[in-house]
A and B are shown apart, each in its own frame.
Chain A
């Protein structure tokens, strides 16, 4: 990159701020991308990357929530991008993580979709331009040129359906390149679905696009080694703040990882003692355990949870951490072996899972966790009643036993007391409750089944601070006082580090490392990025 180019920024963010309702998701972001530069953008889930991209593409979600503050400069001019179409006109393109291709159409039709070339025909003397016929020959030729630019030699007449995923990714890029005005390409985790060799080729293509066509590239990825390979500069986002921009020369992966996850906030439960003897009898053992959960696949993991501990499961979105608990609970097809107290558990059967004393608080609160149109008390009692036949009046013919309304209300009042549930009364519909209170009802329902193994997934997502602390405290209390083993899945590392005894980090469907909660930030960062090489080196350094 020459000096003159470097000064000529194609895109510049200047003091971007964005609030969703009261919640600040971007705080004063400023950085720039020059023509011909590959600029890396990294950050945890929820760090603000997608919000920033939504602003860049003028997505309706931004404008319907009050727009943003600050300036987006394109070629040095302040531009307000009002719609995705507008963004394309400015020469900004996006290569999506999921393929946005129409499988039934051929490759060239996909590339030329909505920018078809037409030619005049006999009837066009009277018919409007929209009814001109397609110039197939020219379209094929231009498509072929675009394909060549991304280094793909393939017959453009083939249908997209049935092509290998790697090819689809390149076709997607070719479609963006085919826009002659293209100046900036955003790659949103393009390698997530690719095999290693394909990913390498993609990185090479990115480099040549930047060099030969002088296109600016914004590269979003969780894979730090890829970032190191191709990026000229890297910006790190954390909690909506830009915590640093690095040049290629001083790219320091452990440092970046540390910046990505590290926080200056005090840990809430610092005073608690960590149970160190984590070698006791296992409560739960997973052997070659796989779960086919779309977007959260788990591949052949081995993990054991010691009786009485809180094991945290951390990892980035889409890496498989959510899949583990869902697989054990029998909600998604699983294979392998699961042992509870040394006894094999029948898989893919929610009933046996519940009967063996497993309580599962699902991450999908409004979907799987609640009956929104039923009362708080019915929600709390339902699972226990249906599965364990609790809260039923005795003496009736078995199938016609009636619900013990008094018992149910009593239990609901207990939960209301314990969790400080904010409601007018326990007969209120759960739909009317706030997110935090809904979550408390969900936990109440799970606890009412008296689980000996409690699995909680994202228990504090979308919950206000007060409720969050209370929920964490209760989980800790249940574990310490009632000796319930807890499997705690969360995207918030801070939260895991404040309650867990050990934390397993999942990347790419596998357990990368099991770390103590007080391990240094950079180890967590490296493990979450799946960077085993650097992680082992760091671990080795630590031991010395």
Chain B
């Protein structure tokens, strides 16, 4: 009971409301006799799909850089990887592996540049990150038109060049991880491979933070003066944290795309950072503190909320308020976290 109390206290009022609201939606869905099995399956796949993207924020916060609103930078690297592998007509695990390798590799290179840039603007990482994200999406809008991809499944059929807005992945490796070892309990379908991939990523990141370099990132992120006195170079740990975050962003979008079954290009990644950031914040993280628990719990709560809100709202209002609710909640929680910085301690 006591533990429960401290947990609620740590969660904070706004987060408590959101968790309560999610529970309420589930109860309403049950009362209204909606297809609970279907709903829970959707929750699980959305949870697994967004997991690594949310995880990618963790090194950034721990490194003392705040919330990574420049997430599109990593996401774009991952998208290049996916498009590259499809262009080679690779299907199945080969395609997935190539996409991960190319996307991840690119994420590391670009992440180093991004980290270098952020070291020049210490203290304004979140604002600068937001605009770097926006700018890189726009830049890639041009690039998607001009890059020399030529696989007919990728390019506009009439013009014969320039990538399409949305590319289906059914013939390559769409839902390959979701279907791996998946099973059905009652009428709940569990995408085992997808969730496993997320959990494995979590474990690897957690282990990384138990190494010398991981500890150095934490130390420098929390207290730069302390780090310098222990001869840690904060600029280097920040670079490492940014690179890791960008790398995970790239991996995350590859996993996301295969689960979603489509690759979305052009302006699709423009706003991706906001709901992802909202996830980790709802989990209880702040600008300066975040744990693995915040990542997993936040992702589960927020994605469930979005899944259940639509059918329930349809029952009551008969219109789609999910999109509005998503924007209000995700931006609201970001605002809450930004103003609540001091209140955290």
Contacts and interface: CB of A to CB of B under 8 A. Distances in A.
A368 B226 contact: yes
Contacts of A200: none
Interface stretch (B155-163, B170-178, B217-225): B217-225
A385 interface: yes
Nearest to B222: A371
A385 B215 contact: yes
Interface in B55-97: none
A403 B211 contact: yes
A392 B212 contact: yes
B222 A362 contact: no
Interface residues of B, number: 21
B207 interface: yes
Given A378-B215, A382-B215, A400-B211, A360 B226 contact: no
A360 B229 contact: yes
Contacts of A400: 208, 211
A332 to B, nearest CB: 10
Contacts of B231: 330, 349-351, 353-354, 386-387
Contact of A401 (B211, B222, B232): B211
A378 B218 CA distance: 11
B232 A386 contact: yes
A392 B218 CA distance: 17
B223 A402 contact: no
B215 A373 contact: no
B218 A371 contact: yes
A344 to B, nearest CB: 18
A369 B230 CA distance: 10
B2 to A, nearest CB: 14
Most B Cβ at <10 Å: residue of A354, A386, A431: A386
Interface in A400-445: 400-403, 405, 431
Given A370-B223, A372-B222, A382-B219, A329 B212 contact: no
Given A354-B230, A373-B289, A386 B212 contact: yes
A399 B216 CA distance: 12
Interface string B227-242: 0111110000000000
B210 A402 contact: yes
A374 interface: yes
Contacts of B232: 386
A77 interface: no
Contacts of A399: 211-213
A470 interface: no
B226 to A, nearest CB: 6
B201 to A, nearest CB: 16
Nearest to A449: B230
Given A373-B289, A374-B218, A403 B210 contact: yes
B contact patch SS? helix
A45 interface: no
Given A350-B229, A360-B229, A385 B212 contact: yes
Contact of B219 (A350, A386, A389, A401): A386
A209 to B, nearest CB: 43
A403 B214 CA distance: 10
Interface string A314-326: 0000000000000
Contacts of B345: 431
A331 B232 CA distance: 12
Nearest to B216: A386
A74 to B, nearest CB: 39
Contacts of B229: 329, 331, 350, 360, 362, 368-369, 383
Contacts of A464: none
Nearest to A349: B231
B224 to A, nearest CB: 9
B204 to A, nearest CB: 10
B222 to A, nearest CB: 5
Interface in A90-112: none
Contact of A371 (B207, B210, B213, B223): B223
A403 B215 contact: yes
Interface in A324-366: 329-331, 349-351, 353-354, 360, 362, 364
Given A350-B229, A360-B229, A382-B230, A389 B212 contact: yes
Contacts of B212: 385-386, 389, 392, 399, 401, 403
B62 to A, nearest CB: 10
A277 B211 CA distance: 46
Nearest to A391: B212
B289 A386 contact: no
Contact of A387 (B211, B228, B230): B230
Nearest to A362: B229
B230 A350 contact: yes
Interface string B163-198: 000000000000000000000000000000000000
A349 B229 CA distance: 10
A367 interface: yes
A406 to B, nearest CB: 13
Contacts of A374: 218-219, 222
A350 B210 contact: no
A385 B230 CA distance: 10
A494 to B, nearest CB: 28
Nearest to A369: B226
Nearest to A361: B229
Nearest to A431: B345
A448 to B, nearest CB: 11
A369 B226 CA distance: 6
Interface string A105-144: 0000000000000000000000000000000000000000
Contact of B222 (A330, A350, A373): A373
Contact of B230 (A372, A383, A389): A383
Contacts of A372: 222-223
Nearest to A445: B230
A383 B232 CA distance: 9
Given A367-B225, A368-B223, A403-B210, 20 more contacts: A350-B231, A354-B230, A354-B231, A360-B229, A362-B229, A368-B226, A368-B228, A369-B229, A370-B223, A374-B222, A382-B215, A383-B230, A385-B212, A386-B212, A386-B216, A386-B231, A392-B212, A400-B208, A402-B210, A402-B211
17 contacts: A350-B229, A360-B229, A367-B225, A368-B226, A369-B226, A371-B218, A371-B219, A372-B223, A374-B218, A374-B219, A386-B215, A389-B212, A392-B212, A399-B212, A401-B212, A402-B211, A405-B210
Please list the 7 inter-chain residue pairs (A to B) with the smallest Cβ-Cβ separation, ordered nearest first.
A351-B231, A350-B231, A383-B230, A368-B225, A403-B210, A371-B222, A368-B229
